[in-house]
């Protein structure tokens, strides 16, 4: 299994989160990309806990339903493991080595950098470029994850009849979207610092890019599940009912002022807290833009709300803004789901590296 392995043909981008699986197929269309199929399929409770698969069969079944729902014919896929499950390190290696020699030397020296037995991990690397201080060396990004993290995702995909051709890392999948779709970023991201904040059901991830390159990533427990549980408590609903009305509407008039507005305020505080983590561990004291992703970014007006609270330009991430839409895809549904499809999009675009 390879963590950064480029592909030359379309593959399905599959994002396995704590509450759903998301599947996306992108092909070239005209002068750009075209979304040809996608699906979002909910997962049973506790099938995945904080992005760790607990029930491979349940995930595989949900993924099989997503394949059927999307009507895709593709059978190859790219998956991602969460950043918290991966050790990354930039190391220096001699310049001029062939890929085979570089791989051999990294395998010999990897135990210096990875705190696990090599037989228990999946290891890969990517040459970043010449080292800024030593002309005879190159910087190499080393990435390692425990094999079980990769194997459980691969097993779920195989249960759905798919062949996994690449395994990426979630923050780098998001970086990849921003690299290929710079229109999402101010000044195309050049010399700009952008915080992509993905607020899912149970976890929030902060991924900071400078000049379209990932420079910082962090995950913390927080997400839309808190809003769902408050709806459950306030209106005596089951978790499934609360999740449905949260998305579809139909709650009493006091929902927005008494439930939604406090949650939005909590979101703004969490975003501010995440950014403070970044500032305290770097030389940066501000970002040029916040991009909101994940399911919570679908809350109407949340970008304006957070911008007003933090004073930083804030927008909703839409990786499909410049793409065409295939006949099997409902444009309005795709637009609504777009913020939650950033990782799946980055994975699907790996077929065009």
Residue 336 confidence class, pLDDT cut points 50, 70, 90: very high
pLDDT of residue 78: 96
**109 and 43 assigned to the same domain:** no
DSSP string across 259-284: IIHHHHHHHHHHHHHHHHHHHHTSS-
Write the burial class of residue 119 (CB in 10 Å: 0-12 exposed, 13-18 middle, 19+ buried). Answer: exposed
**27 and 128 assigned to the same domain:** no
Q: Identify the residue with better confidence: 243 or 206.
A: 206
**111 and 77 assigned to the same domain:** no
- Average pLDDT rounded to a whole number, residues 192-207: 95
**166 and 271 assigned to the same domain:** no
What CATH number has the domain bearing residue 160? 3.30.420.40
Kindly give, in sequence order, each residue whose CB lies less than 8 Å from that of residue 55, ignoring residues fewer than 6 positions away: 44, 46, 47, 48
> Domain containing 104: what range?
86-145
**41 and 111 assigned to the same domain:** no
Q: What is the pairing mode between strands 52-53 and 76-81?
A: unpaired
pLDDT of residue 9: 63
**110 and 228 assigned to the same domain:** no
**299 and 269 assigned to the same domain:** yes
**119 and 222 assigned to the same domain:** no
H or E element in which residue 143 lies: strand 137-146
pLDDT tens digits, one per residue of 291-317? 999 999 999 999 999 999 999 999 999
> In which residue are the tokens 């927008």 written?
315
- Residue from 144, 168, 175, 143 nearest 154 by CA: 168
Region class of 71: left (phi > 0), else alpha (psi between -120 and 50), else beta: left
- d(CA 55, CA 199) in angstroms, rounded, equals 23
Query: φ and ψ at 239, to 5 degrees?
Result: -60, -40
- Average pLDDT rounded to a whole number, residues 319-346: 94
Residue 3 confidence class, pLDDT cut points 50, 70, 90: low
- d(CA 79, CA 13) in angstroms, rounded, equals 6
- d(CA 78, CA 18) in angstroms, rounded, equals 18
Sign (positive or negative) of CA dihedral 56, 59, 62, 63: negative
**120 and 155 assigned to the same domain:** no
pLDDT tens digits, one per residue of 33-67? 999 999 999 999 889 988 889 999 999 999 999 99
- d(CA 175, CA 47) in angstroms, rounded, equals 27
Lowest-pLDDT range of 64-68, 119-123, 229-233: 119-123
Give yes or no for residue 8 having a pLDDT over 70: no
Q: Please give the torsion angle defined by the CA atoms of residues 147, 352, 125 and 53, in that order, rounded to the nearest 10 degrees.
A: -20
What CATH number has the domain bearing residue 133? 3.30.1490.300
**69 and 152 assigned to the same domain:** yes
**Domain count for the chain:** 3
Count of CB atoms situated within 10 Å of the CB of 210: 17
pLDDT of residue 7: 45
């Amino acid at each position: 299994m390879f963590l950064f392995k480029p592909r030359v043909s379309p593959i399905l981008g599959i994002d396995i989160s704590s509450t759903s699986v998301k599947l996306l197929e992108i092909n070239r269309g005209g002068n750009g990309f075209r979304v040809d199929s996608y699906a979002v399929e909910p997962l049973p409770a506790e099938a995945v806990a904080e992005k760790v698969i607990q029930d491979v069969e349940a995930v595989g079944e949900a993924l099989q339903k997503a394949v059927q729902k999307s009507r895709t014919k593709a059978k190859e896929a790219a998956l991602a493991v969460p950043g918290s499950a991966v050790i990354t390190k930039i190391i220096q290696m001699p310049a001029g080595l062939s890929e085979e020699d570089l791989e051999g030397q990294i395998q010999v020296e990897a135990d210096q950098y990875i705190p696990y037995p090599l037989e228990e991990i999946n290891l890969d690397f990517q040459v970043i470029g010449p080292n800024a201080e030593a002309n005879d060396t190159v910087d190499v990004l080393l990435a390692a994850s425990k094999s079980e993290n990769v194997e459980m995702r691969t097993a779920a995909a195989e249960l759905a009849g798919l062949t996994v051709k690449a395994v990426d890392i979630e923050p780098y999948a998001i970086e990849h979207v921003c690299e290929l779709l710079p229109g999402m970023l101010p000044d195309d991201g050049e010399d700009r610092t952008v915080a992509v904040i993905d607020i899912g059901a149970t976890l929030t991830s902060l991924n900071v890019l400078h000049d379209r390159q990932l420079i910082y990533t962090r995950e913390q427990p927080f997400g839309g599940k808190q809003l769902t549980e408050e709806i459950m408590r306030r209106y005596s609903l089951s978790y499934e009912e609360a999740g449905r009305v949260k998305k579809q509407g139909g709650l009493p008039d006091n929902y927005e002022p008494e439930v939604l507005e406090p949650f939005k305020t909590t979101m703004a505080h969490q975003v501010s807290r995440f950014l403070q983590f970044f500032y305290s561990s770097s030389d940066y004291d501000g970002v040029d833009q916040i991009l909101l992703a994940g399911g919570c970014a679908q809350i109407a007006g949340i970008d304006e709300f957070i911008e007003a609270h933090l004073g930083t330009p804030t927008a909703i991430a839409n990786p499909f803004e410049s793409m065409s839409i295939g006949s099997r895809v409902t444009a309005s549904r795709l637009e609504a789901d777009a913020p939650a499809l950033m990782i799946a999009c980055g994975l699907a675009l790996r077929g065009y590296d």
